[in-house]
Structure 1
Amino acid sequence: ERREVAAWALGGGQVRYSVPEEAKAGTVVGRLAQDLGLEAGEPEARRLRLVAQGRRASVEVSGASGALVVSSRLDREELCGKSAPCALRLEVLVERPLRVFHVELEVTDINDNAPLFPAARKNLSLAEFTTLPGSRFPLEGASDADVGANAQLSYTLSPSEHFSLDWQKTEEDSESLFLVLRRPLDRETMPEHRLVLTASDGGRPSLTGTMELVISVLDVNDNAPQFNQSVYKVQLLESAAEGTLVARVNATDPDLGMYGEVIYEIDTVLPPSASDMFSIDTNSGEIRLTGAVDFETVTFYKLHIKAKDKGSPPLSGHCKVLVEVLDVNDNAPEVWVTSLSVPVPEDAAVGTVVALLSVSDRDSGANGRVRCAVWPAAPFGLVATFAGSYSLVLREALDRERVSEYEVEVRAEDGGAPALRASRGVRVPVSDVNDNAPAFAQAVYTVLARENNAAGAELARAWAGARWRAGGWRAASSYVSVDAESGRLWALQPLDYEEVQVLQFEVRAVDAGEPPLCGNATVQLFVVDENDNAPALLPAAGGGPGGQVVAKIRAVDADSGYNAWLRYELWEPRGKGPFRVGLYSGEVSTARALEEADGPRQRLVIVVRDHGEPARSATATLSVSLVEGAEAALGGAAAAAAAAATNVWLVVAICAVSSLFLLAVVLYGASRWAPRAAVLSGPGPATLVCASEVGSWSYSQRQSRSLCVAEGTGKSDLMHFHPSLLKVCQTRRLWWWQSRRHYLLLLRVAFC
């Protein structure tokens, strides 16, 4: 059944209600919609909403009626505590149009809390006969959570002939409560007094709270405290944290009261340095850890405990507490390198001791047993010598050229659970021994050098710390030098392609080891030709009648290839003269029939050029005299007589040339099968100069010293050669010929 218990007032846009605490859910606090001036049926239409400020409202607005009702339990003590009055501020929102109304709800107190003492029981100890009548003992009063008259308290004490209650209230609304002794206590008559202290509030009806007073009558101090055992044995892990309970000792005193109350204290601690490691609760006898224990430092403690009563003078008893510290795995292994023999020669024998190691663990038992290993597993290993000592030894052969230094890690692990680990790095450098001969990147080096290089010019740089020696027909030391430190290849003198085309020699690299080792390489130095020789003219040969060759200009060039390829040009006279010159043959022939108008003498200027860059040239002047036909015939008869005189020599020449031909065939076959290195090492010019069918000069790669004359225009002209070429002919005696009509020509050249 709903019951309206609130009053309201409207003014200044604010509504105020009051409701008693503990009102049931659904209790109508006030007709909010009506008090706000809303007509019936409007609250739902205008959406009346409640917004609480601060504390939980525990009220709500009914959507249908617009009334403010209790929604949950209202507890003034929970909402406001001891504050009075207890007012809740609410806001009510009204839509269409939006308006805000302030509602204040006061929760009034009811006497729903009984007085409450701090403890349900209080113990007092009073000595017999020594406690004088009139002695006052303070008591703690009760508290009431209500306010106002509901919290006004009064006290009463259960009837007793020995005790009374003294309760006083001051103007500041504070109170004092004392238990007063009226008659002396006699322990033998009554060892204990039990009284009930009652507190009553001012509510209607009144509520009460009680506390039991237990007064113990103390005997005189005629007994010392006694421990329940004289020795306490305790085991304590060294990992125990500060504040850990070590032991609890207990002593009793047969006396009563303060003479039977025991106070505990630590008398002495062994070792003395641990005096601040333990503490004891003076009342409970609990011994707790106040510092960190370390098994590796102290394994055993002895504590002397004293218990004394509160007599005057006090009496005391003693006991001993023996604390054994148990080891835990709190120390990782330690690894030291006691001796290190480095660097290690790369030819050290397997089993060589590189380092001595010492391994230890401060823990004991399984926690202190250490296993060791080395990483990487090769090429070193560990050998246990005796307890805690190891040797780092060589297990495999070393090669400094492959690995010049090792970072070895010695790993140690103890037997604890979980296991602790430690490691120590050892750097082992490998020292070199002379076990590798110098090695060149390639067996044969090819060097190109232009001729006419300056003396002292650097030709190549390839090797360091090298010594050389030359091989072949001619000592290479007259041309090149190898620096022993830098490996630079120097030219000792300018190179001349016309003198030498290929130098082949051996370079030896020698290290500084004991004994020294060496390596060899072959150097092939190819001289590159430059156009440094101009064409050299030879005496010209005479000619014949018109329309045929008048003369043949002959020239040679000491260069090779394009540098020695010659061409002939008629420089003077220019225009349509009676003569012309072959571009590559050098043959001067008549361009037309000669006439008297041409004159008895012609002067021809012929320029000979090579194909070098830049081109070099030479100039030849040819004088041509015209004679009558009879003089020409007389000259031919003289020539026939001279030919008859040399017939004998012709026979000799044919035999000699045939012998030379056979010798040439043998030498040619030998040159084809000879080793290439010997060919490359030859000092002579590596050229083959031949006259083509048109009389030009060409270059061949054959490495022999040969001169051949091509078949010209069918004339047995005597060719004149440069003196250097004739010297070659005399030296080598190697000739080529193309027809028997040149036998006389070859014989004459051979004996020039």
Structure 2
Amino acid sequence: MALLRRDSLGTRQLLRLVLLHTAWEVGSGQVRYSLPEESKHGTFVGRLAQDLGLEVSELVSRMFRMVSKGRGDYFEVNLQSGVLFVKSPVDREEVCGQSPLCAIDLEVIVDKPLRIFHVEVEIQDINDNAPVFPVSKENLFILESRFSDSRFPLEGASDADIGTNSLLTYTLSPSEHFTVDMRTNDEKSKSLVLVLSKPLDREETPEHNLLLTATDRGKPELTGTVQLVITVLDVNDNAPVFNQSLYKVQLLENAPNGSLVIKLNATDLDEGINKDIIYSVRSVTPLSESSMFSIDSNSGELSVNGKLDFEDTSLHDIQIEATDKNPHPLAGHCNVLVEVLDVNDNAPELAVTSLSLPVPEDAPPGTVVALISVSDRDSGDNGKVTCSIPPDLPFQLVSTFKNYHSLVLAEAVDRERVSEYKILVTARDEGAPSLSASSSILVPIADVNDNAPAFPQPVYTVFVKENNRPGAHLLSVSASDPDVRENAFVSYSVVERSVGEQQPVSSYISVHSESGHIYGLQPFDYEELQVLQFQVSARDAGFPSLCGNVTVQLFVLDENDNAPAVSPPGSGRGSPGPELVPLSAGAGHVVGKIRAVDADSGYNAWLRYEVQEAGAAGPFRVGVYSGEISTTRALEEADGPSQRLVILVKDHGEPALSATATVSLSLVESPQAVKWDSRQRVGSEGPLVDMNVSLTIAICSLSGLFVLVIVVYVGLSCHPGPEVMCGPGKATVVCSSEVGSWSYSQRQSRNLCVWEGTAKNDLMVFSPNFPPSPKIEGNWKQEQLICDGQACEGDSHTEPLSLHDISEELSQIELSIEEVLEQIDTLNSNKSPGPDGSLFAQKF
């Protein structure tokens, strides 16, 4: 029992020693580093392991680790080198704000034995923050009466940096009226003020726009700006002023009460109520006529307020006063001198006694429109009256008898040009001065159906995809008629005619009689009808009715709705039996050919051939675009006595349509088969190069002869035939250098051309889609030209040149070139394995 107690006491003492040692280890060591803020990732901070007295090789084994105290994970230690580096950039303003001292505390912990080190990284400020004003624009309002040296407080800018990077100086854009000053209230308080250096004048400059700039003392310097908009407030320092001191006015006697004498206008350079003016009559001479005139206090209009009589008073002197609306108003004055003139007291009088309205637009010249009577109560020359109407009108005044005039039609009128005339009839006496009177007569013009409906364009063109939905809207036509009412009500109809095999146009399309919408009554088939040309008639409801026509050209666009049609294979022999292939046939030997056509056009008729199951092709392949079946290597007895290939023919439409053809090939012994020297395929490089050179020369010779034949054929075909019809615009010529035989998918003649750099003689032809000539009616005859390298037939409009002879020549050249190319493909395939040599068609 005593022994157990002694052992327990020894254990507690040992544990106490371990704890004291650990505490000593924890409290030892502290390292301090300094680093500029915004340092990039990987920036060297210090050799931490070396500075802490640790061995770099022991960092991993002693479980070296570093912990950041709540300021983010900005640093990292490379355990292989013991170097402390930046993990992510530190923004001092984000971490420490405006604190003058910014440091990030790190704790480094190692085990075996346990030690804790304190590391402090001081973040030094850099000038990365520009001064910022609270607002981008500050408005100030200052009275123009403020004295010089007046001060107006401004809100300064702030800088998120510290030290010299946050010390700011202010500058103001050049101004003769203002300066900026920084006033120090005590050691820590500073205020920014705007100082008025020169008195303001609102009438000279009502607003000042200044730019205040704050600049810090960092390197490089950063600046911030604020726009100062200073509005000068007005004070009443200007009196109203008339543009002249004396106005002279002449008035006829017996001027009616309220007649305007003159409109006065005074101006005040102030603003607000200091600018608002009140007018008043100050005095009238003679005094007995003081109530004869009145003035509008706001507008300044001076008017007659009684009856003027030349025989009583011929001259009136009126003094006018203008004051502003300031509580302490300023005033301006002027005089108006009114001279009363003795005149003819009575003006002529006009009366319209008869009207014949409205006037039809087809009324003949001389038609009487109105009867006018004139009178004047004066006598002598003051009672003699003459009448007139303005010139350039299709009317004239004719004097019938004393004091009566007739308004008659002088020339034809057109309601669509002018729908009504406002005629001002003026009567003037011969007094001194003469008096006049006028009367306005409104003469409306009645409409006559003299305008036919007109379309805005002579031809409408619309493109419609084939297989359209019956009843679908195709396009709309619209005609306008400048007439009115029923004369302008337009109805639409189609002009009937025959299309194709004597089918009426109305079986294809219909026209809505009111809206002009054109609808398709049945689906269009591009293979049967490419262009439908018809006329739409627009007729008004007038009597008699008038009509106008417009031509509509409807072009049917092709869709991929026809699958390829495959002809029986036979290498041009037309034999239904299997193809016979000699066992001695070498690589590239042509054993047969698949022929297919597609009733569509363009990419929808561009055909591609491929073996449906590539693994079952054996020693044979099919040309991608030619359809030619040829050997890929020399045949062997192990290939069996027969082969069966399933050829898939696809077009390039969206979606693609396809057809298949099964070809049976029988391998037979044939002494006439071409025997190839295996040494040429396996031997040294020299003979192979010589063979390639020979084949290249042969290709160039045959290609030149082929191009020459094409040029001769095109030159002879360019002579105009007796029945050649061309559509508008230039014919589209499409060229190709793709592998494959001559392929045609349309029943129309094509233009063909060959690139000089083509590797083979095969062409892929796309039919150009262009509209027919306007002279061509619904039955647009199309010619068919089918060429497969063996024969040509079709075009009935060629010149006396023998097309069969040219076709035979082209076929021979085609076969020769194909044989040479197959030889090259065989040599290349024996030389280095690669793809089947077929070329992909280029899009153009």
TM range (shorter): 0.3 to 0.5
Query: Which one has a larger percent strand, Structure 1 or Structure 2?
Result: 1
TM-score of the pair, normalised by structure 1: 0.44
TM-score of the pair, normalised by structure 2: 0.40
Larger Rg computed on CA atoms: 1
